[in-house]
Amino acid sequence: MVIDLAHVLGYGRTDTTDHCRLIFIEHGGAQLGLVVDSEIGVRYLHPNTMQEDTVEEVFATATALLDNRVVILLDGVAIIREIAQQLRAPAYVH
């Protein structure tokens, strides 16, 4: 299954362009594709870059610094569970 991440986060639908990407996340036996408007590649965040402030975004777990910009870290498992709940489907398969 594929969902539009911007739409799920309340930012409207993603315009399909050459920069759009499909990113997959997994939890247990469930796999979910996320359509995103662009990607910057894989980055590793060190615990010492985590910000202590509270983030009030849906599915956000924390913020971190990435290339001197604050980025929001999303909880992929929470996204999968929310979509499964909306579809009344199991969130993972044993």
- Return d(Cα 84, Cα 37) in angstroms, integer: 23
Backbone angles phi, psi at 48, to 5 degrees: -75, -10
Which pLDDT band, with edges at 50, 70 and 90, does 44 fall under? confident
pLDDT at 17 (0 to 100): 92
For the segment 49-69, what is each residue's pLDDT rounded down to a tens digit? 555 566 667 788 878 888 888
Tokens of 54: 């509270």
In the chain, where are the structural domains located? Answer: 2-87
- Tens digit of each residue's pLDDT (9 = 90 or more) over 69-93: 888 888 899 999 888 888 887 655 5
pTM, whole model, 2 decimals? 0.76
Residue 92: CB atoms within 10 Å: 14
In this prediction, residues 35-61 reach a mean pLDDT of 74
